[in-house]
Chain A
Amino acid sequence: MMRGIVAFLDDRFGSNAGARFVLRKIYPDHWSFYLGEFALYAFMLLVATGVWLTFVYQANPTDAYDSVASLSRAAPIGYLMRQVHHWSAVAFVAAILIHMARIFFTAAFRKPRELNWVVGVTMLILASLTGFTGYSLPNDALSGVGLRIADSVLLAVPFIGNWASDVFTGGGFPGPLILQHLYTIHVYFLPVIIALLLSAHLGMLVYQKHTQFVREPQNVVGRRFWPDYALRTLAALGATVAVILALAATVEINPIDVYGPYKDWTAPNPAVPDWYAAFLDGGLRIGPSFEFTIFGHPIPALFLPAVVMPLVVLSIVIAWPWIDAAFTRDHAKHDVLVPPTFAPWRVGFGSGLIAAGTFLTLAASDDAQALAIHQPVQSMVTFYRILVPLGSLLVGVLAGLFARELRRRSAAHGTESERVVALRRNEHGGFDEEPVGSAL
């Protein structure tokens, strides 16, 4: 039957040549290359379950909560769809970060792949935003409080803050339009943009060919898409679906029927966002209680931790390929990956940044931690104020030193050599080494 379909298409489009090209293409193979695929398949699960959910959800303040809460009491399939949707989102952003870490530490972002890095980081931000807007749609007590905080952060932006909040809410929080806006953003704008970026991401990767660990820069070394890679990626799809389904069928997520509908005079406790937004909440908790004014306009205490800090970090992360190239003074093209230990300073910087993000995320539950160890919350705040900058620095330095030590040991064993040299006969009858470049 498949042969019949292929012949049908080829007769009309001449597609056999293209099909042959796609199926025979060689992709390098390494276990860490599947990390991006886990994110991709989580996204597919999100789209599949999300499309179903759009038939159920009602985007107005009166009905939103009930339309989602009813999924618990109606057919169990609906409940499972919602569970899978939310768990996929939680796993999706985690998978993106793991994949991004692999890209970072193996320096796959180097020329000519800088743009792909930018596209990837953009998708990370959009995925987090999609998650935030998504779990705010049911208009439950927990997410409603988070929306209020988001609106306050928006208001804290100079010049355009009040305008932005007014447009977003339809006249001040909560406003008659906020759920509608969240819905169109979550269901249309963001997924479409993510899908387009994803196509660009994969397209660039196919066109420029995937990077590889094997040190033959002139070749791509690996296996063909068909049957090798296709079957392996199918296994990755199966594994992603299996793990997320098993989780969604076992542990309940976001029990909105317990939280109840949002009312602006109640809040659950603890009041924390989903984990990928928690670093912002942590920043708000440990941020200085300091408000200043510029020409009479207040710059609220929210501004530094919730607006400036993420923008600064995001700028550094997005611009990283160029920062990295400037730092290493290496503007050559690279198709071969660096084993992480070969660039200890990059290991150090990346580890430090990951540590900072982790500590800030942990700071979002500082009140529960304070309770657990019988300390006042203020002590935990002080602890995290020290841990986030200094602890991250320590982690970065230690990681860098550790990487450098590992590299020294492997170099001492003579197993790795990164220099490619040309040997030239000199006038004494021996050989001179002339560096040609790095094989990496």
Chain B
Amino acid sequence: MALTPVDGHAAYLQQCSSCHGVDLRGGPNAPNIRGVGAADVDFWVGTGRMPAAVPWIEVGHRGPSLPQATINAIVDYVVSVQPGGPPIPLVTTGGDATHGQALFRENCMHCHGATAEGAPIGDQQWAPPLDRATVTQVAEAIRIGPSEMPVFSEAQLSPGDVDDIATYLSDMRAAGGFHGLPVRSSGPVPEGLLGWLAAGLLALLAYAFSPGRKETKS
């Protein structure tokens, strides 16, 4: 554990500048990140999507690849170069989960799936599952609209609304399945496959356990 403060500028140069440029203006493989704000940088680096090994392939949440102190330092550095953009939101999970569920169903379910398990949104895009995201990262994504995700302003979803959504998500995560059945549903497609499995199993049982009889084909 480093006890000396991390040099954000040095960390940026080491981890980010090869694509985003020394001046943060980006290049052919990376966008301009001047003035994107703390939430943006914290989201991308905190979820491990950045630094990107291969710039043009988007990865999902794979956990931060840098120590938290380094991430914080990089965030501070980028903000210091050009202030602006949404700050890192403060989120609690003491909100109203029922209201959060209603908001989730109206604003998030159609992209991220009914249980936030992730879903395709056309082309080669997907809205990723939210199981690994911290509530802060969820709030950051809501405010910055990463990749194809829309941007939700505070006028549209207030900080209280975001708290409610975060509460609902964390309750959902904690509950695992809501219903006391060992295996959760993944939608009608796997359900159909299992239905066929059941019918096929019965057919197989009929074949395997048909009482033996003498062949009387003449």
Contacts and interface: CB of A to CB of B under 8 A. Distances in A.
**In the complex, is A directly touching B at CB under 8 Å?**
yes
Contacts of A141: 105, 109, 114
A44 to B, nearest CB: 14
Contacts of A72: 178-179
B114 A258 contact: yes
Contact of A272 (B187, B196, B205, B206): B187
Interface in B101-155: 101-102, 105-106, 109-115, 119-124, 126-127
Interface residues of A, number: 69
A278 interface: yes
Nearest to B102: A260
B203 interface: yes
A87 B193 CA distance: 11
7 contacts: A76-B180, A93-B195, A94-B199, A215-B218, A244-B198, A274-B188, A375-B124
A286 B211 CA distance: 46
B81 interface: no
A361 to B, nearest CB: 8
A410 to B, nearest CB: 12
B22 interface: no
B124 A90 contact: no
Contact of A252 (B181, B196, B200): B181
Interface stretch (A9-17, A24-32, A121-129, A180-188): A24-32
A265 B188 CA distance: 21
A365 interface: yes
Contacts of A93: 195
Contact of A87 (B112, B184, B198, B209): B198
Given A90-B191, A91-B199, A252 B179 contact: yes
A407 to B, nearest CB: 15
Given A269-B111, A367-B120, A254 B106 contact: no
Nearest to A372: B120
Interface string A30-45: 1110110010000000
A143 to B, nearest CB: 10
A270 B189 contact: yes
B14 interface: no
Contacts of A377: 120, 122-123
Given A255-B184, A368-B189, 8 more contacts: A29-B213, A91-B198, A95-B199, A142-B114, A252-B183, A253-B185, A255-B185, A269-B120
Interface in A363-382: 364-365, 367-368, 370-371, 374-377
Nearest to B204: A31
Contacts of B188: 142, 254, 272-275, 278
A269 B124 contact: no
Contacts of B120: 269-270, 367-368, 370-371, 377
Contact of B205 (A90, A239, A370): A239
Nearest to A76: B180
Contact of B191 (A30, A31, A235, A275): A275
A98 B189 contact: no
B202 A38 contact: yes
B5 interface: no
Contacts of B182: 250-251
Given A260-B105, A371-B126, A252 B185 contact: yes
A234 B178 CA distance: 36
A244 B196 CA distance: 11
A275 B189 contact: yes
A375 B120 CA distance: 11
B109 A79 contact: no
A234 to B, nearest CB: 13
B199 A98 contact: yes
Contacts of A260: 101-102, 105, 109, 114
